[in-house]
A and B are shown apart, each in its own frame.
Chain A
Amino acid sequence: MSQTTAGVPETTTPTQVPGGLRTGGRLPRWTSWAVFAGALAAVALLDLAVALNTALYVLFTAVLGTVALFGLSRAAEGRRTALDRLVTCVVASAFGLAMVPLVSLIYEVVSRGIARLDGEFFTFSLVGVVGEGGGAYHAIFGTLIITGLTALISVPIGLLTAIYLVEYGAGRLKRAITFLVDVMTGIPSIVAGLFAYALFSIFFGPGVRLGIAGSVALSVLMVPVVVRSAEEVLKLVPNELREAAYALGVPKWRTIVKVVLPTAVGGLGTGITLAVARVVGETAPLLVTVGITNATNLNPFDGRMATLPVYAFYQLTQPGVPPEFAIDRAWTAALLLIVLVMVLNVVARLISRLFAPTTGR
């Protein structure tokens, strides 16, 4: 170690800092890259001896490189810097590991789904389709209609609940509602589906399949998400703004409508959009409440409808003969769902940027 030992009296030249900063050696910037390149080469040699698969290849390189870099740094730079490098390697590896499923999922869905992403897929339903061709026109519109209805039901309920919790609620009732919302957040989606199915069975008899029943089931899942996100956003509105409005003689409800909500509108929009994205891909509740159909049905109050997730499920599990065309359609439906969720996320970001209070400087 090349550190100056503390306690030894030194003849301080004018340029030296009194007290003595520890000056360790410093490896050049490219060292870590070089070490990992070396590790890669070493593993390649090992690969010649015993054939390795890709996963082992990457694993060996990461471990070997990390150990080598740590040892080198320990010898040349001292303990603290070596630990810093070690932790950097671990963090980078964890990040890489986390990216593997994400990237491979997107790659898989895009590469398999892109084949059928054509005009026919967007304009045709599955009526009279055996084998090749056919589309998901009915499922796309089914998903849009049912999700739209879900938002229509959930947003007012969720928003008003959040307003109650933040602006009015106190004591036991508030705690009870918060607790119930927390519980509802964890409800398995199939339970929500069975609940809606049971509810509609009371009125329409067993075996009922309605688009609106699917919306109700999804609302059970969406309401708690909206409540939670809206509550957090409303809490962020500074109390000073409410007091400023009160001090002008503005009643409480007008303060909420005209001051609190406009101030929070960006965050509310973001939260709602993300909540929609959360339910748009739900499969299980729609499976038991809405079912599936090959024909186009755009009326959520009359019979079965098709939705993208359920469409993908049935195309995959009951593909018919020959199966490959239906399986292709399932992948394309999955790709569309991912795109839909991504679009919703982008919209959420746009909302939060557009409505963020401007400083105007």
Chain B
Amino acid sequence: MAKRIDISDLDIFYGDFRAVADVTVSIEPRSVTALIGPSGCGKSTFLRSINRMHEVLPGARVEGKVVMDGQDLYGADVDPVDVRRQIGMVFQRPNPFPTMSIYDNVAAGIRLNARRMAKTDLDGLVERSLQAANLWREVRDRLNRPASGLSGGQQQRLCIARAIAVEPDVLLMDEPASALDPISTLAIEDLMTELKERFTIVIVTHNMQQAARVSEQTGFFNLSSAGQPGRLVEFDSTEKIFSNPEQKATEDYISGRFG
């Protein structure tokens, strides 16, 4: 079930360095929200702080509120492991588990968490997840082969299948297509359009056409100068951002005059 996320006054730190400042934004359920901006402006950092992956790094911390359906994800009594079970993530570089087969990779979220599931149920889940990731037809006759034998685009779709197999409410994607060729990129974009029926999707991308194609909402991140924290400059419907943005910086970035 897709959920809504409200973020308010979020500051994100690496040690003493404030990487992202004062982000307040609402992410709508059952839609694709795209985050764009120049390199190093904190888009990925912001994305990783939504499912508490940011704090995995030593010295990294977050101040502010991230509320999903009324619950503060950074509350004192919230276990980050539970947060990540509800908010899945797909990374820039495909990272299937090299020791596992294709089947085991998709089942990893269940198996690694030692959740008991009948073999037939698990088979069904793996098939549904692979179908949802548009990979089933390509791999159904070699499910027990190592995942590292797949092509880059297939591996990335496998990672998406793995992420949706645990049935999260939200799916975060950190430049999911930047390491892929145009055909695989198209496959991933089509997939996002299908998946937004069931999930809330947030995607970081450097490809503005991609943002314009797949998203309903777009946020533009920028930093005023090096060493300053990144800020969310503008957040609006994708149509408005790409046709008639409020801010000069957004317009410059989108028209390619900077960044």
Contact = CB atoms under 8 A, between A and B. Distances in A.
A205 interface: no
A247 B148 contact: no
B80 to A, nearest CB: 8
Interface centre among B83, B84, B149 (most CB of A within 10 A): B84
B56 interface: yes
A241 to B, nearest CB: 6
Interface stretch (A14-22, A214-222, A253-261): A253-261
A245 B112 contact: yes
A301 interface: no
- Chain B, interface residues (CB within 8 Å), range: 20 to 34
A262 B97 CA distance: 10
B97 A240 contact: no
Given A263-B97, A360-B145, A360-B146, A247 B113 contact: no
Contacts, number: 87
A246 B108 CA distance: 11
A51 interface: no
A255 B58 contact: no
Interface string A328-361: 0000000000000000000000000000011111
Interface in B43-98: 51, 53, 56, 58, 81-86, 88-89, 91, 93, 95-98
B115 to A, nearest CB: 10
B253 to A, nearest CB: 29
B114 interface: yes
B146 A357 contact: yes
Contacts of B99: 259, 262-263, 265, 357
B56 A240 contact: no
Contacts of A360: 145-146, 148-149
Which 3 A-B residue pairs are closest in the complex by CB-CB distance? A249-B85, A360-B149, A360-B146
Interface of A: 170, 238, 240-251, 254-255, 258-259, 262-263, 265, 357-361
9 contacts: A240-B95, A243-B56, A243-B95, A245-B112, A248-B163, A248-B166, A249-B84, A358-B146, A360-B149
Interface of B: 51, 53, 56, 58, 81-86, 88-89, 91, 93, 95-99, 108-109, 111-114, 145-146, 148-149, 159, 162-163, 166
